[in-house]
Structure 1
Amino acid sequence: MTALIALATTIGLALTLLTATAAPAAAADLLSQGKPVTSSSTENTATPASAAVDGNTGTRWSSTFSDPQWLTVDLGATATISQVVLRWEAAYARSFRIQTSDNGTAWTTVHSTTTSTGGEQTLDVNGSGRYVRLYGTQRGTAYGYSLWEFQVYGSGEGTPPGNGIPDPTTASLEAAYGPLTTATYTVPSPSGYGSGTVTYPTASGSYPGIVLMPGYQGTQQNLQWLAPRLASWGFVVINVGTNTLTDDPESRGRQITAAGTQLLALGDAPGNPLSGKLNGTLGATGHSMGGGGVMAALRDDSRFRAGVPTAPYHPNGNFSGVTEPTFFLTCQSDSVAHGNTYAMPWYNSMSQAEKLYIEVPGDHLCPMTGYGDKAKQGKWMVSFFSLWLRADTRFSPFLCGPARDADKNDTSLVTHWKDTCQF
């Protein structure tokens, strides 16, 4: 008996030591929030795919009312996936699979069920991949599939490769062109706007889309300098002409939405050079009334995930409800749309958005082709869109941190800088 007690004590002590010295399991990180996301369909513009990964349980993605349907998030780099959380709206999936992929084409199933009852589901999985997909095969109701949130947890998330985009430097971002070769395509039948020229990377892969909108009496020439610069850093850019030269800011906002819709449709349609080039994420930039149009698009169309209004003008705009990241670029000597009149009050009213405000020397034309310091303006815009449309954190230091300070503190370059860093 004494020997047995001694043996039990020894075993218990050994187990205690093993427990005490064992390394704790690494906590899983939320990898999916804010990342590019695509879906097989959406019920309407108020329920986009992006709403499922925005961290807001008051917004949702919903599909059309048919089977099958899918929702795919691009994590930006290969990661080890340990858990998926589904927060269903009333319209749930009875049968679905969770799948991972390295390339977005070949899929591996890591969870499958035919007896789901909806609600909030926490699924422990074991897999890896850059892409994670919910693939629904049978609806639980007569409606579509609807998720408040689609959350992917895991570890090993790397810096997004950005379709072969090298690490940015001050010199490379201030150059007139980025690292990717580009080509142009004229939209043959613009729908809802006047004209469109698309500049896109010729490399394989899919990219965010950006709409460029001119100002009053303006044409595509207004922002022609920006299209190839953005495209060569990994964006599909449509530079549009308006229905009429005098269209007001609200009309320009609707035309931004129309151009974004057609750009995504071209990406989904075979037989044109944009086929497969769009990843479903949209942004917009515009000058003057076009900048007011950008604000209207951010307010009204949840597909637009970031905006850069430049010298924006909108005399009746209320944009306190805008929640998407917004970069206001204004001109110190602007007598038409000074930042103190429009952009700064909007900035101050947007309590739920990540924001950047930069005022530079020059008059109302300072963001247009042929005016202002395009090396600096281009660096800021490329960095802003790369961070917020592609979740590429390599560009963040040029907006927040030491790489930013040389610009921010140069009074000959910047006359007012305000932001919500750190982002």
Structure 2
Amino acid sequence: MHRTIPAPPAPGSPRTARRASRLTGAAAAVAAIVALTTLTGPGAHAAANPYERGPAPSEASIEAARGSYAVSQTTVSSLSVSDFGGGTIYYPTSTGDGTFGAVAVSPGYTGTQSSISWLGPRLASQGFVVFTIDTLTTLDQPDSRGRQLLAALDYLTQRSSVRTRVDSGRLGVIGHSMGGGGSLEAAKSRPSLQAAVPLTPWNLDKTWPEISTPTLIVGADGDTVAPVATHAEPFYTSLPSSLDRAYLELNGATHFTPNSSNTTIAKYTVSWLKRFIDDDTRYEQFLCPLPKPSLTIEEYRGNCPHTS
């Protein structure tokens, strides 16, 4: 079969002009795609991850007593709630960056929110809404504290005066001692939580294979109230091996070290919350490779790289 191949159009003909126009348009489209790819590449964090908040982190910025956000606060009276004991909400003052992830923080046995209040402005200044709570009684056990942490998050996202500032899909829990055990209970009960950070946690339940929330457990080498050998360590080892998990044992620390401002606790808590609540991989560098023993770190275990 013979096929006639048409002769090429003469230069300057309308057909040539149309073809040139199409080529020019195609070239422009390709250029636009290349430009878009460049804008959404690894260097353009805001475009790649809409949850990132604040400037690119450094060792100095995550160890600083305050981050880049100015912080405001509001009090929640115990008389206005029934499922937990009220508390204080700390939040970034600026509304220009949209909503923020949030965490509820529980004190320990016999403790009040004042014992963990330092975490409020410190974490909020890094770009989180932080709710430090009082519990219904100072003697509440971990299961009760877990329920109260979840009730506080529900209040924060549904009823609080700052609810429009909170992304209800990006939430976490922190707790000290009984509150640390409570944060494990909360993560077990609500798998949708994005992060849990138990601080020198206490709980009679030693195994947590049901947890699917990325969990950083912080123990203290000198803890005689909840010794790491019978609390923090078995809690960590019982978590699923496939889970994004870590165990930080503080060096030269006691059960009550989390009750006052502590750079090491803040540094790794900020990094953990940023990595898993905000999915901000800029903070992966502080968690992987695993931190080495130092003047403040007795031991650090975990799985790297993180996948969530």
TM over 0.5: yes
1:329–1:357 Cα contact (<8 Å) kept: yes
Q: Which residue is equivalent to 1:395?
A: 283
* 3-state SS of paired residue (1:276): helix
Q: 2:64 aligns with which of 172, 175, 187?
A: 175
Unaligned runs of 5+ in 1: 8-78, 81-128, 130-155
Q: 1:215 and 1:164 mapped to 2: Cα distance?
A: 30
Report if aligned partners of 1:319, 1:346 keep a CA contact under 8 Å in 2: yes
8 Å CA contact 1:178–1:233 kept in 2: the answer is yes
| 2:120 aligned residue | 227
**Matching residue of 1:111:** none
> Deviation of residue 303 (structure 1)?
3.3
Aligned residue identity for 1:240: I
- Residue 158 of structure 1, CA deviation: 4.6
Say if 2:200 and 2:217, in contact at 8 Å, map to a contact too. yes
Give the corresponding residue for 1:360. 250
CA contact (8 A) 1:227 1:239 kept: yes
CA contact (8 A) 1:159 1:393 kept: no
Query: Would the alpha carbon gap of residues 275 and 237 (structure 1) be closer, same or farther in structure 2, given more than 3 Å must change?
Result: same
Change (3 A) 1:363 1:178: same
1:336 aligns with 2:225: yes
**C-alpha RMSD of the superposition:** 2.5
Give the number of the structure whose alpha-carbon radius of gyration is greater: 2
Distance of 1:240 and 1:179 partners within structure 2: 24
Cα offset for 1:302?
A: 2.5
Q: What is the aligned length?
A: 265
Of stretches 199-208 and 290-299 in structure 1, the one that deviates more from structure 2 is: 199-208
Percent identical: 35
Decide whether aligned partners of structure 1 residues 348 and 201 sit closer, same or farther in structure 2, where only a CA change above 3 A counts: same
For 1:158 and 1:376, the matched residues in 2 are separated by 31
Deviation at 1:157, TM superposition (A): 8.4
For the pair 1:382 / 2:270, whether they are aligned, the reply is yes
In the TM superposition, structure 1's runs of 4+ consecutive aligned residues that sit over 2 Å from their partners are 156-164
CA contact (8 A) 1:191 1:259 kept: no
More strand by proportion, 1 or 2? 1
Once the 2 structures are TM-superposed, how far is the Cα of residue 198 of structure 1 from its aligned partner?
0.1
Q: Choose between structure 1 and 2: higher helix proportion.
A: 2
1:239 maps to which of 132, 153, 157: 132
Q: Is the Cα–Cα contact under 8 Å of residues 162 and 392 in structure 1 kept in the other structure?
A: yes
CA deviations over 1:34-88 (Å, ceiling 9, x no partner): xxxxxxxxxxxxxxxxxxxxxxxxxxxxxxxxxxxxxxxxxxxxx88xxxxxxxx
Question: Offset at 1:409?
Answer: 3.5
1:108-146 Cα offsets, whole Å, 9 max, x none, are xxxxxxxxxxxxxxxxxxxxx9xxxxxxxxxxxxxxxxx
> Which secondary structure state, in structure 1, belongs to the residue aligned with residue 268 of structure 2?
helix
Query: Is residue 224–residue 239 contact of structure 1 (8 Å, CA) maintained in 2?
Result: yes
Instruction: Give the letter aligned to residue 419 of structure 1.
Output: G
One-letter amino acid matched to 2:86:
S
Corresponding position of 2:304: 421
Question: Which residue in the other structure is 2:204 paired with?
Answer: 315
Is 2:88 the partner of 1:213?
no
2: CA distance between counterparts of 1:389 and 1:169? Answer: 19
Equivalent AA in structure 1 for residue 190 of structure 2: D
Q: Is 2:293 aligned against 1:409?
A: yes
1:283 to 172, 194, 197: 172
Q: 1:195 aligns with which of 72, 75, 86?
A: 86
Against the structure 1 CA distance between its residues 350 and 378, is the aligned structure 2 distance closer, same or farther, given a 3 Å change threshold?
A: same
CA–CA separation in structure 2 for the residues paired with 1:317 and 1:417: 20
Give 1:322's aligned amino acid: I
The CA deviation at 1:308 is 0.2
